[in-house]
Amino acid sequence: MNGSSTMILIGVGGAGCSIAQEVARGFGDGVRLAMFDTDAASGGYAAEGEFFLVGGDRLSGQGSGGDIVGARLAAEDSAEAIDAAFEGSRLAVVVTCLGGGTGGGATLETLKRLSRHGIPSIVFATTPFAFEGEKRLKNARGIMSMIEEEASAAFFLPLDKLVGGEDNMNEALARARDTLSSAISLFWRLVEKPGYIKLDEERLRQIISDAGRGRFAVASATGPDRAKKVADALLSSPLLSDGSGPVKSILCGVLAGDDLRLSEISDIADTLKSAFGDKCAFDLATVNDEENFAGRLSTVAMMFETAGGKAAGSDEAPQRTRHRHRVSSSAGSLVKGRFKNAEPTVWNGENLDIPTYVRKSINIGR
């Protein structure tokens, strides 16, 4: 880890802690890592970073049992320890898995604590497999909008799209963990390692400021036509192609050895801008790392979606989207006011303070 780095990686819940540890190992040089869980057993597997048991008195280290509210209260009980873990941080990357209790409830409280300290946060959250049942899917959907309210940028990654349908359960979970941890490791390297076009923490803070919901994918290739392979892989990725709104900005990171060519950077950038909107904001960064990327080219692509209305520079009509700014503008005056500092009323993963017609996307106009 860069000695001057003020980035912190945070894993929340058992699965989030596991993925965060994989990121720390994959990065290689060390990552400042903090892990929060209501289950004391997770601490026994924490070979990397620092583990914090949250809500020990409330839950006795036995986990939240799928109770989102209980997990949030447990995190509130441990607010002092959580705050201490953030000391010296100016940017946080949070990894979590939604659908259960701790991943949802403790993540939300963690993000609130980060926000109160003025620390921007980027969230990578998986959502359940479809076969896990409506309750877990509903829990995940309900908490997503609240995570968007607190995070600077949020990426929600369906497990169904991270793995292949032919995998057995153990293989699927392992592949999902490995895929996500490898992707975040590349992103971390993009920020922490020097390059000709550098993405440092300050620049990243500006890019993600109130960025909202995004799409995220990575691709790697070798050979003389590796740039085309990477671009084609990104365009075919279900994680990029399936969004909830038009793209307002793109952050593209290109990682390679000393053989990186300007034409390769240009080809990848032109392909992404052409596919997702050549008039939207575009930021590019590179990493030149001969030791880890000799002969190989990898690309990290992050798309941030328009907050309702038109895409940047677009003449297209507004699209109906379901993310944080749409809910905020529609319901803000109804649920804020004198109660703006009150905690939301959450039941089965839904914020009941938001009117039903807004939560259910029911159009009551003419």
Residue pLDDT, tens place only, 309-352: 333 333 443 333 333 333 333 344 334 444 445 555 655 555 66
Which residues have a Cβ under 8 Å from the Cβ of 123 and sit 6 or more positions away?
Answer: 94, 95, 96, 107, 111, 147, 151, 153, 154, 155
H helix or E strand, kind and range, residue 139: helix 134-150
Which residues have a Cβ under 8 Å from the Cβ of 198 and sit 6 or more positions away?
Answer: 285, 286
Helix 13-27 crosses helix 169-192 at what angle (to 10 degrees)? 50
- Strand-strand pairing, 33-37 and 91-97: unpaired
Between 313 and 41, the higher pLDDT residue: 41
Q: What's the pLDDT band for 365 if we cut at 50, 70, 90?
A: very low
Does the pLDDT of residue 22 top 90, yes or no?
A: no
H helix or E strand, kind and range, residue 84: helix 79-85
Interatomic CA distance for residues 38 and 15, integer angstroms: 12
Q: What's the pLDDT band for 306 if we cut at 50, 70, 90?
A: low
Q: What's the pLDDT band for 29 if we cut at 50, 70, 90?
A: low
308-313 long-range contacts, Cβ below 8 Å, gap at least 24? 308/245, 310/246, 311/246, 311/247, 311/248, 311/277, 311/279, 311/280, 312/248, 312/249, 312/277, 312/279, 312/280, 312/281, 313/277, 313/279, 313/280
pTM of the full structure: 0.79
What letters, b where the CB count within 10 A reaches 16 and e where it falls short, cover 88-102?
Answer: ebbbbbbbbbbbbbb
Q: What's the pLDDT band for 254 if we cut at 50, 70, 90?
A: very high
| Domains annotated on the chain, with CATH | 7-192 (3.40.50.1440), 202-305 (3.30.1330.20), 324-359 (no CATH)
Q: Give, in order, the Cα–Cα distances in Å from 294 to each of 95, 190, 297, 334.
A: 29, 16, 8, 56
Tens of pLDDT, residue by residue over 151-208, are 999 999 888 888 766 667 777 778 788 888 888 988 998 888 878 898 888 889 888 8
Does the pLDDT of residue 9 top 70, yes or no?
A: yes
pLDDT of res. 263: 96
Interatomic CA distance for residues 286 and 196, integer angstroms: 6
Interatomic CA distance for residues 106 and 68, integer angstroms: 8
